[in-house]
Amino acid sequence: MEKDLWEPKILAFLCTWCSYAGADLAGTSRIQYPPNVRVIRVPCSGRINPLFILKALQQGVDGVLVSGCHPGDCHYQIGNYIGRRKSSSLKRFLDYLGIDEGRVQFSWVSAAEGAKFAQVVKEVSDKIRNLGPSKKFVNRIGPIKGVRE
Amino acid sequence: MEEIQNKIRREVVQLLSEGQVDVVIGFEQGSLPLRATPFFLRDIADANRLVWSPFCENNLATYLTKIQGKRVGLIAKGCDVRSVVALLVEKQIHRDHIVIIGVPCQGMVDRRRIEREVDGEILKAHQEGEEIIVEGRDFRKSLPRKEYIYPSCKRCEHRNPLIYDTLIGEKLVEEAERAYHEVEAFEKLSPDKRWSHFSEETSRCIRCYACRQACPMCYCAECFVDSSFPKWIEKGLDPSDVQFWNIVRAYHQTGRCVGCGACERACPMEIDLVYLTQKINRDVKELFGFEAGLDLDPPPPLSTYRVDDEQEFIK
């Protein structure tokens, strides 16, 4: 694919109580943000199995965004704290392996932060646009039926 | 060695005859020289098959999760005991069901390096003092034991079992210091170099899962690679599937790996594996102040949290 035609494809895992509602607010407030994210709604950022992130990268997304409630605001009290530990160890490990720093990014977005959500998506997609299409750790045999469009 | 072996046999005979345990897990001579193989001893008459040699490289704690509901005697090196502790922390085994026969370990010998030292097939191998003597049809060679110890054994800081019911032999002086030289050197490479090292190493992987089978902490009832719904990973030959396996095998050790190196020793393709888990171990120490296998009290680090955990990477 020619680079100027290429658009980054970003998968966003959003916690239903905060970040998903924040994305909703960005929409209802008519705030513009890059259309590169595909949202997957999860009950909590602690629900995100690191396998989700790895599988997404392997299936060829250019970046992954993980977003949950601010510390202290978790609907389940501690879910985002547990998720935070998984995220920090995974991020360090992926960097160590040599997967481009920035392919997987993390944010806290509350239900009241529609503008912040738009800003985060902009920053994430700018960074991933600069990195270019994901090449490492991508399935080369081709799409598996029913997984990619 | 002889002396330790005899003491082990006496101890085991006593445990079995007093009915304290149903089975003892130890080593017997393997079918090839330079190999010892795990041995499940139930009958005192077989006690003379138990051996203790510089080739007892398997981590025997692996079998504890597979023998539930029996009282087990475990002949355990320093690393085996760390794995026992890690399994106890994860509540996978009962302390009351296990009698730990601790053996301070001088390090196990890298059989593959020894094989490369000689031309021709090794037919016999044994230890004499500090030398490993290998014999073939028309050669006999003596190799200094200390120079052929596995890298993970050289790094080992807990050669003496941390917990035990009986200790065989004298405690050793711990020599190794905490160091992650290998990890630090690797971190200095560029990301592309790091990735090419990882992808070149894993390109040899035949996905036999020997690393998983050898690891005491790989006890999941269903491993993610075997799950067909969800199907995380294809069975095919795409490099990304092989990489997926190797990434997750290592990452799932977060806060759990005791650094025994059994995975790397089990790998028939001699793939570099320990540099991955060592990195995770260092991060877990740095981020969560936790080291697997040393302490029975703290919960596994990914099952808990601190309010002030690192979060600078989160926007």
Chain A hits for B250, CB-CB cut-off 8 Å, are 93
Query: Which DSSP symbol is given to B205?
Result: -
3-state secondary structure of A139: coil
- The answer to whether position A67 is within a domain reads yes
For chains A and B, what is the number of CB pairs under 8 angstroms? 121
> How big is the CA angle at B236 (ends B216 and A62), to the nearest 5 degrees?
90
pLDDT of residue A143: 53
What's the CA gap between B8 and B10, in Å, rounded? 6
- The answer to whether position A47 is within a domain reads yes
Element (H, E) at B248: helix B239-251
Q: Identify the CATH number of the domain in which residue A88 sits.
A: 3.40.50
- At B160-210, the pLDDT tens digits run 999 999 999 999 998 888 789 999 999 999 999 999 999 999 999 999 999
Give me Rg for the CA atoms of chain B.
20
* Residue A81 touches partner B, C-beta closer than 8 Å: yes
3-state secondary structure of A98: coil
**Chain B residue at shortest CA distance from A73:** B307
Contact B284 A86 (CB under 8 A): no
- The answer to whether position A35 is within a domain reads yes
The number of folded domains in chain A is: 1
Torsion of CA B97, B102, B107, B112, to 10 degrees: -40
Q: How many residues does chain A have?
A: 149
- The answer to whether position A69 is within a domain reads yes
What's the CA gap between A71 and A93, in Å, rounded? 23
Write out the two tokens for B290: 């936790």
Contact A123 B315 (CB under 8 A): yes
Distance from CA of B309 to the nearest CA of A (A): 7
Burial of B171 (C-beta count, 10 Å sphere; 0-12/13-18/19+) = exposed
Write out the two tokens for B225: 């690679």
Task: Determine what percent of chain B is predicted with pLDDT higher than 70.
Answer: 100
ipTM of the complex, rounded to two decimals: 0.93
Give me Rg for the CA atoms of chain A.
15
What's the CA gap between B267 and B290, in Å, rounded? 27
Query: Which DSSP symbol is given to A43?
Result: S
pLDDT of residue B185: 95
Chain B hits for A14, CB-CB cut-off 8 Å, are none
Q: pLDDT averaged over chain B?
A: 94
Which residue in B206, B190, B191, B303 sits closest to B246, CA to CA?
A: B206
Contact A81 B232 (CB under 8 A): no
What's the CA gap between B281 and B251, in Å, rounded? 10
Amino acid letter, A92: R
Give, in order, the Cα–Cα distances in Å from A52 to each of A138, B72, B103, B229.
Answer: 14, 38, 42, 14
- At B64-114, the pLDDT tens digits run 999 988 999 999 999 999 999 999 999 999 999 999 999 999 999 999 999
Residue B272 CB neighbour total at 10 angstroms = 16
* Alpha helix ranges (H) inside A39-113: 50-58, 79-97
Chain B hits for A106, CB-CB cut-off 8 Å, are 313-315
Contact B313 A90 (CB under 8 A): no
Contact A76, A44 (CB under 8 A): yes
Where in the sequence is the domain holding A43, given as residue range(s)? 10-128
Contact A93 B250 (CB under 8 A): yes
3-state secondary structure of B244: helix
pLDDT of residue A149: 43
Which residue in B236, B239, B249 sits closest to B195, CA to CA?
A: B239
pLDDT of residue B302: 96
pLDDT band of residue B62 (cuts 50, 70, 90) is very high
Give, in order, the Cα–Cα distances in Å from B147 to each of B110, B113, B159, B278.
Answer: 9, 10, 17, 22
Which residue in B152, B163, B151 sits closest to B102, CA to CA?
A: B163
pLDDT of residue A140: 75
Which residue in B183, B195, B199, B240 has the most chain A C-beta atoms within 10 A of its own C-beta, making it the best mutation to test that interface?
Answer: B240
pLDDT of residue A148: 45
pLDDT of residue B177: 80
Residues in chain A with pLDDT values less than 70: 1-4, 141-149
Give, in order, the Cα–Cα distances in Å from A33 to each of A23, B109, B148.
Answer: 10, 60, 60
Query: Which DSSP symbol is given to B50?
Result: B
Query: Which DSSP symbol is given to B48?
Result: G
pLDDT band of residue B2 (cuts 50, 70, 90) is confident
Task: Determine what percent of chain B is predicted with pLDDT higher than 90.
Answer: 92
For the segment B203-230, the average pLDDT, to the nearest whole number, is 94
Give, in order, the Cα–Cα distances in Å from B233 to each of B1, B12, B242.
Answer: 45, 44, 9
- Please tell me which of the candidates A72, A96, A139 has its beta carbon nearest to residue B194: A96
pTM over 0.80, yes/no: yes
Write out the two tokens for A142: 């081709």
Structure-token match 């049809």, residue found: B137
- At B226-244, the pLDDT tens digits run 998 888 998 877 899 999 9
3-state secondary structure of B166: strand
> Cα B141 from chain centroid?
28
Distance from CA of B277 to the nearest CA of A (A): 10
Write out the two tokens for B314: 């989160």
- At B108-144, the pLDDT tens digits run 999 999 999 999 999 999 999 899 999 999 999 999 9
Amino acid letter, B180: Y
pLDDT of residue A23: 97
Which residue in A61, A53, A55, A66 sits closest to A15, CA to CA?
A: A66
